[in-house]
Amino acid sequence: MEIKIVTPETYDYFRPLLWQAGAIRKRLCIDVLKWPGRSVLYGMEHDEFDEPDIKACHILVCDDDGKVVGVNRLVPTEYGNYMLKHIWPYLVEKVPLPQSPEIWEQSRFCIDPLLAKEDRGKAIGGLALGGRVFNQSRNIKEIWWMAWPENIRFLGENVDFLGEERDVDGWQSVAGRSFPEAGGLEHLMRKLGPVAIDWGLPEAIPALPRFGERVAA
């Protein structure tokens, strides 16, 4: 398994893998879950928060053949353009909407529905590991999200709900935030087995212990 951490500086480098990730989003969000009003671009699910000016980053999990099997999108609240602010502000009732480099929004957490059931747990673990590495690299203090109650277990134990459950396009949904834990990388990597973490380009690698991450030439 290999984890790709995609930043705005490496969009072009990872473009073919981002296309695969968009196709996974289409298969899950549109074909399986039947989300209404979603846009499809060249076979990929796409929205305004994928545009370059949003400065989203992506965690991709690839199988041993290099095929993307999982994706998680992370959007900085620093620039004021994110989903909870522009689409679902009514879900956030307890605190003001943030605009900070230390607070990011998670969305489009997707595992390929074509992936064998026995491999999905490892893919989810890969997204968790990639997210933790990324959080440490950016000194992220909070991750905000909108989720269905039955999926809260995937967001960690240290969560805070930001409002009441409400109907969103026919789905009971709730906004919340998670507080990333420091450390724990070695434990996750031992649990997952051999994992390579690829930042794409040398200049994209943050100044932190990399625990054997591999950089593409």
- Extract the tokens encoding 187: 């434990």
Q: Which CATH class is domain 2-204?
A: alpha beta
Cβ contact 206:12 at 8 Å: no
Q: Give the confidence band of 1 by pLDDT, cuts at 50, 70, 90.
A: confident
Task: Round the average pLDDT of the chain to a whole number and report it.
Answer: 86
Span 38-81, pLDDT tens digits: 788 888 999 999 999 999 999 999 999 999 999 999 999 999 99
Each residue's pLDDT tens digit, 160-195: 999 999 999 888 899 999 988 765 666 666 777 778
Domain boundaries, the chain: 2-204
> What is the C-alpha separation between 155 and 147, in angstroms, rounded?
9
Give the pLDDT score at 152: 67
Predicted TM-score (pTM) of the model is 0.87
Give residue 92's pLDDT: 97
Name, in order, each residue with C-beta under 8 angstroms of 181's C-beta and a sequence gap of 6 or more. Answer: 132, 156, 158
